[in-house]
Amino acid sequence: MLLLNADTFTWADVITFLKDVVFKFGPKLLIACLILWVGFKLIRFLVKKIEKAFEKKNLDLSLRPFLISLISILLKVLLILTVIGYLGIEMTQFTAILASCGVAIGLALSGTLQNVAGGVVLLVLRPFKVGDYIEAQGYEGTVKEIMIFTTTLVTVDNKVITIPNGALSGSSVINYSKMEDRRIDIKFNLAHGVDISQINPRLIEIAKQDKRIFSTPEPTVIVSITDLAINVDLRFWCKNADYWNVMGDIHTAVYNYLVSEKISLPHPKLDLMK
């Protein structure tokens, strides 16, 4: 059988090597293919069994996809190495071929290995878990699963976003679900000349009428003045689970109040002199 030297071999040597393998190990190749086919079937069966075992043990949802992916990859690598040994291919020759392409393989796997390391960091530090609503890498959504290479988010409009773990573990992450309570800010602008002393108590009253809004800390109104308008910020707290519903309801209530009282809103200004 042709032996390859990693420093001197040519593509002709590689082709000769492959022909040598095919003609001398044809029957073994067929059996090896059969072993691979059966092996992958068995691995798929075992992985499903392990997944069911994790469910029965109530293993953390964040850990399940990662561990299942890791186990599946390890079993497949072991299967492939077993088949290589069955074919009688000397690992020195196999390593020589890989070594000749080492630079390219290293560059190709650098990002992949970084994502694996990032997945481990995410599972150890746990900045978020499956089911949390987060914002990262310019995207936001609910964490669906943390895999060995990537993390999957589902947006509020049901889009699926896949983010590499390497980038995710090395960047800032906003976790909106980490804390039990959350503050809501209802911001809008009023025209100059509006009597704030009459509006602020009414806004606080609107917030207090909703039983989902906390009485402690009390709802507050923050006012700031600019050249174009009066900026009003109604702030209050509620349960994280009620955030979206409360925000929508209070926005509607505030808008209806402003319309019913005919409170002036600022109009956009255009400077024609420029």
pLDDT tens-place string over residues 110-142: 567 788 888 888 888 889 998 999 999 999 999
On the question of pLDDT at 72 being above 80, the answer is yes
Task: Decide which of 3.90.940.20, 3.30.70.100, 2.40.30.10, 3.40.50.2000 is the CATH code for 181-260.
Answer: 3.30.70.100
DSSP character at residue 213: B
Statement: residue 184 has pLDDT above 80: yes
Residues 118, 148 contacting (CB under 8 angstroms): no
CB 219 within 8 A of CB 167: no
Encoding tokens for residue 154?
């589902």
For the ranges 78-87, 145-154, 201-210, which has the lowest average pLDDT? 78-87
Q: Is 231 helix (H, G, I), strand (E, B) or coil?
A: strand
- The DSSP code for 218 is P
- Does residue 178 contact residue 125 with C-beta atoms inside 8 Å? no
Higher pLDDT, 105 or 137: 137
Where do the structural domains in the chain lie, given as residue ranges? 11-100, 125-175, 181-260
Exposure of 234 by Cβ count < 10 A (0-12 exposed, 13-18 middle, 19+ buried)?
buried
**Structure confidence at residue 99 (pLDDT):** 62
Using an 8 Å Cβ cutoff, are 130 and 111 in contact? Answer: no
Encode pLDDT of 216-246 as tens digits.
999 999 999 988 899 999 999 999 999 999 9
Angle at 70 (CA atoms; ends 66, 72), nearest 5 degrees: 120
Mean pLDDT, residues 103-113: 58
Q: How many Å apart are CA 139 and CA 155, to the nearest integer?
A: 8
**Confidence at residue 81, expressed as pLDDT on a 0 to 100 scale:** 79
**How far apart are alpha carbons 114 and 164 in whole angstroms?**
9
Looking at residue 14, what is its pLDDT?
67
**DSSP alpha helix (H) spans, 163-232:** 165-169, 196-209
Average confidence score pLDDT of the chain: 83
Range 11-100: architecture per CATH: Orthogonal Bundle (1.10)
Domain 125-175, CATH number (from 3.40.718.10, 3.40.640.10, 2.30.30.60, 3.90.1150.10): 2.30.30.60
β-strand pairing of 150-154 with 139-146 = antiparallel
Q: 119 vs 63, 69, 152, CA distance in Å?
A: 10, 11, 12
* Tokens encoding 255: 């808008």
